Amino acid sequence: MPGLGTIVNGILIIIGGLIGLSFGRIFSSRFQETLLSACGLATFFIGTGGVLSQMLVLSDGKLATGGSIMMISSLIIGSIIGEGINIEKHLTNFGEWLKAKSGSHGDAGFVNGFVSASLVVSIGAMAVLGPINEALYGDHSVLYAKAMLDLIFVLLLTLTKGKGCLFSFIPVVIIQGTITILAGVIKPLMTPEAISALTFVGSILIAAIGINMVWDKHIRVSNMFPSVVVAVVWAFIEGSFA
């Protein structure tokens, strides 16, 4: 059944959020602050690990870097597109709407939690490859694995950032559902080089989310989101002319 993995993913995000909400009331603000730092550090190093795995190559017994031009170009072009569309504004406005509809007027961290959690669970190769494998081959395994990881992430984020994180299931269902529908069109683009580029640039954005969480920065990661699309197209075109 195409879409089953995404449905399971969304349900487990909700479950993770509900568990996080239940236990979040137990912890004092001091515990929540430390847990937020722990989540941020974990997110940062997961992203950093993904970047290094794609950027560093072993050549003649020495480590060398690769893909720098693709990475820089994708981030710059993607950021220009994202800022032009102003994805963050639209995502924030949607978060404000959810805040009002869910009766969370007094929750000052609702929108920030929604945006942060949505980015964490929506960026990455699994969010693209999972729906494609499911739609074309009936293979749910990638999405089931992602669903379990998302449950843990959303649970931990909800402990510290509150109710807004729970609603991150909405962009996940929309994005992955769209990829499921368009799987036949997208699959030819997903060459090994394109998957590597997606992982590379997506991991940078994940690391940036961690920086925002730990160092209280405001990198507009959502406005950089088109960078992953640019990276895939760049790698596909580059591979076609190789």
The mean pLDDT values, 10 residues at a time, for the chain of 242 residues are 88 94 78 83 88 79 80 95 94 93 86 91 86 88 92 89 92 93 88 90 91 84 93 89 70
Q: How far apart are CA 68 and CA 101, in angstroms?
A: 44
Q: Please give the single-letter amino acid code of residue 74.
A: S
- Residue 175 is predicted with a pLDDT of 93
Q: How far apart are CA 13 and CA 19, in angstroms?
A: 10
- Residue 242 is predicted with a pLDDT of 64
Of 133, 124, 120, whose CA–CA distance to 13 is shortest?
A: 120
The two counts, helices (H) then strands (E), for the chain are 11, 2
Q: Please give the single-letter amino acid code of residue 100.
A: A
Q: Count of residues for the chain? A: 242
- Residue 185 is predicted with a pLDDT of 87
**Residues 207 and 165: beta-carbon distance below 8 Å:** no
Q: Is the pTM of this model over 0.85?
A: no
- Residue 57 is predicted with a pLDDT of 75
